Amino acid sequence: LMPDDIRWHMIGHLQTNKVRQVIDRVVLIHSVDSVALARQIEKEAAKRDLVVDILLEVNVAGEESKFGFSVDEAEEAAVEIAKFAHVRIDGLMTIAPFVENSEENRDVFQKLFQLSVDIKRKNIDNVKMVVLSMGMTGDFEKAVEEGASVIRVGAGIFGARTRIGEINL
């Protein structure tokens, strides 16, 4: 039922063995969490003569349950990935911790914003730093206040996710 000109984004963990199924179907991959994944995107994009726009996922809060570069690793990763001819870094993405009070995530959003400013100041070829994807249904207002250009509000539109084994009645 979607229009032919819909522009899909890949949000969520992307496994390297799934890259070839995704790269020619999306306009932006939000969750590049390793140089190895970016290298696989480069390899598959080169085969199709594509340039794939990506965001580097940064695990600002350092949560073990989340993917992404640490704040300290992100710039070095950007420099390495920027060398790839078929991958273009458009910006950064983070998933803040789940908290009851969204104000608690303001620091996470401020840190990602500052990291994007710091990387942009380096003027690295092939790194645009124009997209800041942060904030979800429970905290997007704070994310926007701190500079988000993209928010992810799927639960606000579709409802909370049902985990395997759970049933909503």
Q: What is the dihedral of CA 23, 27, 33, 37, to 10 degrees?
A: 20
Whole-angstrom Cα distance, residue 71 to residue 48?
Answer: 32
DSSP lists the bridge partners of residue 136 as 152
Whole-angstrom Cα distance, residue 53 to residue 30?
Answer: 9
What is the DSSP-derived secondary structure letter of residue 66? S
Q: Quickly state the pLDDT bin for 165 (edges 50, 70, 90).
A: low
Residue matched to tokens 């979800």: 136
Which tens digits make up the pLDDT trace of 64-95?
888 999 999 999 999 999 999 999 999 999 98
Q: Is the pLDDT of residue 156 over 80?
A: no
pLDDT of residue 166: 52
Which tens digits make up the pLDDT trace of 11-44?
888 999 999 999 999 999 999 999 999 999 999 9
pLDDT of residue 169: 45
Residue of 120, 157, 150, 163 whose CA lies nearest to 31: 150
Q: Is the pLDDT of residue 118 over 90?
A: yes
